[in-house]
Amino acid sequence: MRRHLTLAAAALAAPLIVAGPAAAHDAAAGHGYTVQANEVTRGPLPYATQNAFLPAFVKVHVGDTVTWTTTHGHTVTFLGRTKPEQLPFVMPDPGGATYEGFTDAAGQPFHFNGLAKWIFNPRVFSPIGSNVVRGPKALHNRPFFGQGPKKPGKTSFRFTKPGLYRYVCLIHPGMDGAVRVVPKTAKVPSADAVRAQARKLEQRNWALAKKLDKVKPPANTILAGVGNTTTLIAFKPAVLTVKAGTTVRIVNGSSTEFHNVVLGPVEYLKTFFRETALFPEGPGSPNQVSPPDVHGSDPGQPQIHTGTNHGNGFFVTPVLDRVDYQPLPSSSEVTFTTPGTYTYYCGVHFPDMKGTIVVTP
């Protein structure tokens, strides 16, 4: 799926991470395992994905290296003594900066001018610690990004002491794994056994995706995504019909993905977010979360959608997630006041993730 440059986009855009071929062990070469985390399209639903490392658990010898590869984007983060809430994906600008000077298509200032500016957490997207893990207490972080199947990204860690090393992806909360390091004399699984385990888990998760596709939300509710590590990149229901004046609750239904609701002219949306979502490409480079991703395009809750907001119908709810320690809401409310048929998108997964709301008199 193609991603739009809003909150989780920029260089990574909340990628769909699914295992390709399972890890293989090369004891003779001393290379350990390769864990492939790639977007695949062979699942039962085109909008289903697995935000999971498969296999999530590998056993290697002391001195071995584990390599993670991806066609999109991840972090491999051994937290050690660090708590997850110390590494939020986004955060208020520590310098106390505010958003300033933004005007809409009608030439009017947006309400978020003067409100707190948010940034992408630089620590999440920066290397921390070495690539040699000598114990379970230190923080090690490696973000890594690919450019599709022909140009995968990768990162590696070598383990020098026996023990259990747990790791997470800071981009997809709930996506985690572990490496068990054992003495060289201990047995480790064969490559065939690991591949069989990964295939079994993958097929089990695809079966779960079919069940998730049957989920029906409560009345006047839109589920933005459904699932956990197995998740649907889709709105449920695909079409919602309500009467004018109805307040619709939008709920993030996926624990591993960011979602929101965006309306407006497609080309305007592309330009607006390209110019306002500034993902840091290096030390000192611009760093800014697009202002409506955190404050919404319109003030208050519920936000009011008239169909002509900001002169051209531009309307954005805050980005939603389900992580307690992230400074983002899990739900949002919108009152639709004007009859009409409106196509809306998830700004994070634009343009593939979309839905329709029909507002009747």
- Range with the lowest mean pLDDT among 130-134, 146-150, 166-170? 146-150
Q: Are residues 190 and 243 in the same domain?
A: no
335 and 234 part of one domain: yes
Q: For residues 327 and 91, what is the distance between their CA atoms, to the nearest angstrom?
A: 7
Confirm whether 100 is domain-assigned.
no
Better-predicted residue by pLDDT, 275 or 11: 275
Same-domain status, 196 and 223: no
The residue ranking higher by pLDDT, 212 or 19, is: 212
On whether both 333 and 230 belong to a single domain, the answer is yes
Mean pLDDT of 308-327: 92
Q: Mean pLDDT across the chain, nearest whole number?
A: 87
Same domain, 189 and 293: no
Task: Say yes or no: 263 and 323 in one domain.
Answer: yes
Boundary residue ending a domain (210, 234, 254): 210
pLDDT of 12 higher than 70: no
Q: In angstroms, how far apart are the furthest CA atoms of the chain? A: 74
- Band of pLDDT at residue 23, cut at 50, 70 and 90: very low
- 7: confidence class by pLDDT, cuts 50, 70, 90: very low
Within 10 angstroms of residue 42's Cβ, the number of other Cβ atoms is 8
145 and 199: one domain? yes
**Residue 294 resides in a domain:** yes
In this structure, what CATH number is given to the domain that contains residue 251? Answer: 2.60.40.420
| Residue after which a domain boundary falls, among 210, 235, 256 | 210
Looking at residue 110, its pLDDT comes to 98
Q: Mean per-residue pLDDT for 126-137?
A: 94
* Residue 247 sits in the same domain as residue 174: no
Grade residue 2 by pLDDT with cuts at 50, 70 and 90: very low
Instruction: Tell me if the bond preceding 55 is cis, omega within 30° of 0.
Output: yes
**Is there a single domain that holds both residue 237 and residue 351?**
yes
CA distance 67 to 201: 20
Q: Identify whether residues 227 and 189 lie together within a single domain.
A: no
Say if 99 falls within a structural domain: no
Helix (H) or strand (E) holding 166: strand 163-168
Mean pLDDT confidence for 59-82: 90
In a domain, 3, yes or no: no
Q: Which of 225, 232, 350 is nearest to 293 (CA)?
A: 350
Q: What is the pLDDT of residues 214-261, one digit of tens each?
A: 999 999 999 999 999 899 999 999 999 999 999 999 999 999 999 999
C-alpha 157/C-alpha 159 separation (Å) is 7
**Co-location of 299 and 283 in the same domain:** yes
- Higher pLDDT: 40 or 222? It is 222
Taking residues 157-167, what's their average pLDDT? 95
Same domain, 205 and 252: no
pLDDT > 80? residue 8 = no
Tell me the per-residue pLDDT of 83-128, one tens digit each, with 9 for 90 and over.
999 999 999 999 999 999 999 999 999 999 999 999 999 999 899 9
Please determine, for residue 26, whether its predicted confidence score (pLDDT) is greater than 90: no
Indicate yes or no: pTM above 0.75.
Answer: yes
Give the pair of three-digit tokens for residue 334: 């919108």
Counted domains in the chain: 2
Which of 210, 229, 253 is the endpoint of a domain? 210
Domain extent, residue 275, equals 216-360
Residue with tokens 């649907």: 232
pLDDT at 37: 58
Q: Is the pLDDT of residue 68 over 80?
A: yes
